[in-house]
Structure 1
Amino acid sequence: MNPLPRIRRALGLATAALLLGGCGIGTTGAVHAGPPASGIQPPGTEARSVRLYFAGPYGIRAVSRPTDRPLSPQQALDLLLEGPTPAERERGLISQVPPMSGQLTAAVGQGAVDVFVPLEVRSGDLDVTAVAQIACTAAHANVPGGRPATQVDIRIHENNIRSRTPWTVRCGPNGTVTPVTN
């Protein structure tokens, strides 16, 4: 008798058993892993937040904080001056904006914000990271004119001097600032 047909039949049965056996993962029921997903608000329950910019180990980072209403650039800058929350600090976020309580002011116009800082950039009192934090925080606040934040002109007035010509920047999509030239 020829053993080849029996070997083929045995191999065929073994292959069928493997295919019918599945991948080896047994059936499971529902797995409880925490609360249901959240993040998308039901219609009519619009949540508001303000975007603040802090420095992190990999550059400027935006954080969102819940608010009960849209905040003006001045209100957003006041929050920025308070610095990162403990949770934000745990993520490595810091502020390069030096303390300026009551001295950092913002005035809004159509699609623009005038920011008055008591320091100078060229003297090193205010570094580029701090300028980016201030400009991007102001641009992402409630600015009249309906422009996207990347199109809001932020006019920086150094030493709180209104008579000197300010320099204008815009916040880029990644939290960097670029000069606006006319």
Structure 2
Amino acid sequence: MNPRRRIARTLLCGALLTLSACGIPATGVVEAGEPATGVRGPAGTPTPTQAPSEAVPAAAVPLYFVADGDLVAVTRTVIGATDLASAVLMLFKGPDAEER
């Protein structure tokens, strides 16, 4: 290979690497308060996960399980408020005897 071409390629690669940088400067740790905990409702208040009251209607929660290599949709009816954490816990418990 021609030495001039090799030098030109090396310079071109260096220029491309320099130009491809995003331009955002590195920063240190930004103190912004306490770490996130739990799931919050739309109003910013913690979503209740205790026993629901009588005024809360039943909710249908769609869950997806794998059976014989296929994705199977199962709908569970849950009394009370449901949140992301309770849906994940239902997935971890797996399908019940009726859903199998």
Calculate the TM-score normalised by the size of structure 1.
0.24
